Structure formats: C-alpha cells, structure tokens
Amino acid sequence: MPKFTMNDEGQLVGEDGKPFQVDGEAVTVEGVKTQATFDHELQNRIGRETKKVDDLKAQIATLDKQTEKSAEMEGVITSLRTQLEEANTEKNAAEQAATAKTAEQNKKLLDRAEKAEGSFADLSTKYAREKLERSIIGVAGDTFINPVVDIAPRLANAHKREPLVGADGKQIEGQFQDLFEVGVANEEGERTPQYVPLDKAIAELATDPAFAHYRRGTGASGAGTQIGNKTPPGTMKRSQLKGPAGHVAFIKQYGEDAYAALAV
C-alpha cells in the first residue's frame, strides 16, 4: 500500500516526493495544520514566555547593582522576583504544553493518514483501472461490438505491468509495459495462455473462436466469421502486420480463417 506524507502546503505527497493528484489536481488535506505552521505557533508562545523571563531577570539584575536601596526599591525587587517565579512557571507550562500538543498533533496526523491512506490508495487504483480500460477500448473498438462490457474488463483482470527492457536486455529506468494474458495461437491453431502487449492481445482475441460472438459481423452471415473475399499474399506472416490496426485491417479484408492460417 502506498505511503503518503503532508508537505508545508497541506498537500498529500507520495513516496516519490510528488503531490498525489486526482484529475490533474493535487489533493490537499483541510482541517489539519501543517507541521511547519504548528511548530511556528508553539515556538512563538515559548519565545514570548522566555522573553518575559529574560526581561524580568535583567530588571532585577539592574536594581540589585544599586548599593543603596530604599524600602520602595526593595519592594519593587521583591515584586519582580515574584513575577519572575510566575513567568518561569508559565514558561515551563508552555514547554510542557508544546510537548503534549506535538504528540497530539502527530497522533492526529497519523490517525488521519492511516484512514486516508486506504481511501486514496483505492482511489488511485480506481483511476489506474479506468485509464487501463480506456486504452483497451481504444484499441478494441473497431473489432468488437461492445468492448466496454465484453473485452476491457476481461483484459484488465488479466493484466500485469513489467519494467520495459531495452535491446541490450537491461531494464529501462522508469519505463514499463502493460501485458495481458490471452490464448496465443501457434501455427497449428492451438492456443496457450501467454502475456502479450495490448495490440497482440486484441489481435489474438479477434481470431479466437471463443470470442467470435463478441466480434463485429461484416460478412454475409453477419456472424463475423467470414470477412472479405480476397486472397491474401501467400508469403505474408502475422509478424509483418503493423500494430493492431494492421491486424484488424487484414481480418476485415481477407477474413479470420486467412488470418488464423498466417505463419507467425
């Protein structure tokens, strides 16, 4: 589960140091002071009490230097000493209160963070799922009757994300690829479950008999099993088709049987 902290602007910050966003806007926690504001207020209070103590000490020290003190001055010094004792008590109370409030604030932030963490993690997962399904629908829309219901949820549930590997066999930092588990046909038409990129997954589903009733029917029977009536080039391979659009165009032009017969 992802961890969040709160910055000085009150924004939730993820483990990558960036503000957590929903629909492009940073999420801000209201009703809780930032730690910087909280610390500033506490230090101001302690500072005021400390200054009062220091001022009283300075006044007493000045009067104590006098070699001759009248009864009135002695009374003033006694009064100042009493005020100093009270000021020291207030200062100690402020420091103790600051310690207690810091602990209270930390507990409040922790409690809220724990409650919010789950909901924001769920929200983040929800938006990631919706984005994934939109990408599936965008690729499958020309091939299937209702990809929103029939294809996107199925592929999203069979999805995993892996680090993208370069031509040198090393992982490319910060880049990932989405893979989907579908039955991939071999030259004999036998299908085995494999994780493949989205365009490959859609192309395989488009020729899988189990998904025939989900496909758009453009042939004479309307069932989508015979599309087009031209003969494809005999030397063409499935790997030569460019992207999902190429696979879909081939099926529309030559039919699914011809597509299934292509060498990989």
Averaged pLDDT of the chain: 76
Q: Which residues, in sequence order, are CB contacts of 119 under 8 Å at separation 6+?
A: none
pLDDT at 95 (0 to 100)? 78
Q: How many CB atoms lie within 10 A of CB 162?
A: 11
Note the pLDDT tens digit of each residue in 208-237.
988 988 888 644 333 444 444 456 666 777
CA distance 240 to 93: 79
Q: Which residues, in sequence order, are CB contacts of 81 under 8 Å at separation 6+?
A: 60
Q: How many CB atoms lie within 10 A of CB 88?
A: 16
Mean pLDDT across 174-185: 91
pLDDT at 188 (0 to 100)? 83
Q: Is the pLDDT of residue 142 over 90?
A: no
Q: Is the pLDDT of residue 123 over 60?
A: no
Q: Which residues, in sequence order, are CB contacts of 210 under 8 Å at separation 6+?
A: 183
Place 164 in a pLDDT band, splitting at 50, 70 and 90: confident
pLDDT at 57 (0 to 100)? 86
Radius of gyration of the chain (CA): 36
Q: How many CB atoms lie within 10 A of CB 107?
A: 10
Q: Which amino acid is located at 248 in the chain? A: V
pLDDT at 128 (0 to 100)? 78
CA distance 222 to 212: 11
Exposure string of 119-156, with b = 16+ CB inside 10 Å and e = fewer, is ebeeeeeeeeeeebbeebbebbbebbeebeebbbebbb
Residue 6 DSSP SS3: strand
pLDDT at 181 (0 to 100)? 95
Domain ranges of the chain: 5-140, 149-261
Note the pLDDT tens digit of each residue in 47-72.
888 888 888 888 888 877 876 777 78
Q: Is the pLDDT of residue 155 over 90?
A: yes
pLDDT at 35 (0 to 100)? 59
Q: Is the pLDDT of residue 86 over 60?
A: yes
Please give the model's pTM, rounded to 2 decimal places.
Answer: 0.41
Higher pLDDT, 231 or 183: 183
Higher pLDDT, 223 or 5: 5
